[in-house]
Amino acid sequence: MTPTETRGTEPRETRSGAVVWLLSIIAAASAIGLLYYGKSLLAPLAIALLIYVLMTALLKRLGHVTLFGRAVPRWLAYLIVFGLFGGVAVLIANVIAGQVDAFSSAAPRYIARFEQVASDLGRFLGPELMASVNDAIAQANVGQAVARVVQGAGATLGATSLVILFLAFLLVDTGSLQYKLPHLVPDRENREKVSAALAAMSASLQSYMGIKTFVSLLTGGLAYLVMKPVGLDFAETWAFIILLLNFIPTIGSIIGTVLPTIAALAQFTDAGPILVILGGIGAVQFVIGNIVEPTLSSRTLNLSPFAMIFSLLFWSTIWGVPGAFLGAPLTVCIAIICSHVQTLRPFAILLASSIPPADQAETRQPKQPDQIAHEPAKPS
C-alpha cells in the first residue's frame, strides 16, 4: 500500500471506530433505560431465573442418586424439589404470620423503651439538640409510613405472583433450548460459542446459588442459636431476615448484624444481652464471610471487589432492593458473555478478579508463512 493510500484509509478507520463506540454508548443507554422502566417485569423474571437455576442444580444432584439400585425417576425428583421449596415457603409464611400479632402487642413496650433511650441520649446531646430531634420525631407522619408499608407489601405480593408464574413456565419449558439453538444460530462455530457461554453461565450460577444458599442457611441458623437463648423476641423472623440479607454482598452482613442489635436495644435494659447479640452475630458473620464462604466458593463468581461493590450500587439504583440481591449473579452473566466475545473481552478482564480464559478458537493464531518454511520436516 502506498503512503497516499495509507493516509486515505486512516480517517476512514477512525470514523469507523468512532461510529462503533457511539453505537455502543447508545445501545448501553437504551439497555439501562429498558432495565429501569421495565423493572416491574424484569426483576421478577431475574429472580425466577435464579430460583430455576437452583432447582435445576438440585434436580441434577437427585439424578445421580440411586434408589434401590436405580436412578431416581424424573417425576420423583421434580416432586421432591417442589415439595422442598413449597414446604420451606409455607413454613416461613406461617412463622412470620404467627409473629405479627405478637409484634403488635409488643410495639408499645418497644416505643416506651426507645423513649427511655432517647431521654438518656438527651443528657449527652444537650437540651437544644434533643429538642430538634424530638421535633423531627413529632413531625413524622406515622399514617404515611404505615401506608407505604402496606403499599410495599402489596407490591411484594404482586411480584411474588409474577415470580411463581415465570418459574412455572421456565420449568415446563426445561430442555427446549437445546432443540431451538440450531435454528436460532445456524452457523456451527457461533453456535458452539453460544453453547459454551450458556454452559459457563449455568455452571457458575448453579455453583454460586448452591453455595450461597448453604452459607445463608448456616448464617441464619447460627444467628438463631445466638439470639434465642438470650431471649430476643422474634428470633425466628430475625434469623430469616439475616438469611436473606446474606445474599447481598458485603453490606448485607453488616445490616444483618445491626438490625438485631437495634431490636435488642429496644427490648433489653441491661447491656449484657445487647453485647452478646452484637458480638455473637458479628462473630458468625465474620467467620462465615471471611473463612467458610471463600473456602467453599474458591472464586466461583470471579469478580473483583470493585466489580462486586459497583454491581451492588448499580443494580440497587436500577431495581432497588431486588437489585441488591441480583447484582452479583447478573454481573457474572455479563462478564461471561463479554469473555466469549472478542471485542467485549476487555470488559470481562476489568470485571474479573483473575483473567478469564480466552476462547481457544479466537486466540489460536495462524502460523505465518516464514514460520512454516523454517519448521523441520516431520519424518514420514
| pLDDT reported for residue 157 | 60
| pLDDT reported for residue 160 | 79
Q: What is the mean pLDDT of each run of 10 residues along the chain (380 residues)?
A: 51 65 82 88 88 84 79 82 83 74 73 72 66 62 50 61 85 74 79 82 82 90 93 89 88 90 86 92 91 72 80 89 86 82 79 65 41 43
| pLDDT reported for residue 128 | 66
| pLDDT reported for residue 260 | 92
| pLDDT reported for residue 369 | 41
- Exposure b/e, 343-362, CB count within 10 A at least 16 = b: eebeebeebbeeebeebeee
d(CA 3, CA 359): 36
For residues 288, 290, 295, 296, the Cα torsion angle rounded to the nearest 10 degrees is: 50
d(CA 355, CA 346): 10
| pLDDT reported for residue 368 | 41
